[in-house]
Chain A
């Protein structure tokens, strides 16, 4: 079974600075998806960024980018120019592509605080 590990329970960053959240995963599959979700206190699960394993290029979405290292099974999230609204729980998640619809496997999450 696949597992996702987030080794940083909490992180903090100064406003306008850059922070990197770590994620590692374990799988024997070669094709899969990786995601970062943000959950603010409103409890909505918001998709931040996605990465398809067969793509070597790292995904980017505005201030958010990933460092995807397939061989190392590492998928870190970099937030640039941090804003107060970035404060939230961040979950790394894995999804298999072996069958049509498989559920996400989540890490335990990293709580990010942004200091003004």
Chain B
């Protein structure tokens, strides 16, 4: 299994600002995934982050809005840029071990005023 430390756990931000969420894993993993969970909804994949290359974004998500860094095999960041109230969600990072389940961080609850 993998232990994932995600921070901050929650934040309240002003409209138009940016917030960077950090995700640290206790073992080396090839892929890290970032999900968004809007209130009362399921998880939607934002992007897949592979160390040493640009992240791959899902339809409806763009790099300018959600830039991702993946500097090494145990760490990734997701930035939510130019925030608006529609960005109020839980953001979760996740890793998948080969032929195993996905493990999740505890999530970041983001509220935009």
**A residues bordering B, Cβ < 8 Å?**
33, 35, 42-45, 47, 50, 91, 93, 95, 97, 100-104, 106-109
Q: In the complex, which residues of chain A have a beta carbon less than 8 angstroms from the beta carbon of B96?
A: 95, 101-104
Q: Is the interface of A mostly helix, strand, loop or mixed?
A: loop
Contact of A101 with B43 at beta-carbon distance under 8 Å, contacts A45-B104, A95-B96, A95-B102 already known = no
A103 CB contacts on chain B under 8 angstroms: 31, 33, 45, 48, 94, 96, 102
Beta-carbon nearest neighbor of A97 in chain B: B99
A100 B30 Cβ-Cβ under 8 A: yes
**Interfacial residues, chain B to chain A (CB-CB below 8 A):** 29-31, 33, 37, 41-43, 45, 48, 90, 92, 94, 96, 98-99, 101-104, 106-107, 109
Contact A107 B104 (CB under 8 A): no
Name A105's closest neighbour in chain B (CB-CB): B45
A101 CA to B98 CA, complexed, in Å: 6
Q: B31 to A43, Cβ gap below 8 A? A: no
Pairs A-B, 4 closest by C-beta atoms: A101-B31, A45-B104, A43-B107, A108-B42
In the complex the two chains form, is B104's CB within 8 Å of A44's CB? yes
A45 to B6, CA, bound (A): 13
> What's the minimum C-beta distance from A75 to chain B, rounded to whole angstroms?
14
Cα of A97 to Cα of B99 in the assembled complex, Å: 7
A95 CB to nearest B CB, Å: 7
Determine the residue in chain A with the shortest Cβ distance to B58. A103
State the CA gap A77–B99 with chains docked (Å): 21
State the CA gap A106–B90 with chains docked (Å). 15
- Chain B min CB distance to A37 (Å): 8
For residue B50, give the distance in angstroms from its CB to the closest CB of chain A: 9
Roughly how many angstroms separate A109 CA and B41 CA in the complex, as a whole number? 8
Interface centre among A47, A97, A100, A101 (most CB of B within 10 A): A101
Complex CA distance for A50 and B100, rounded to whole angstroms: 9
The contact of B42 among A33, A35, A44, A91, by CB within 8 Å, is: A91
Tell me which residues across on chain A come within 8 A of B30, comparing CB atoms.
Answer: 100-101
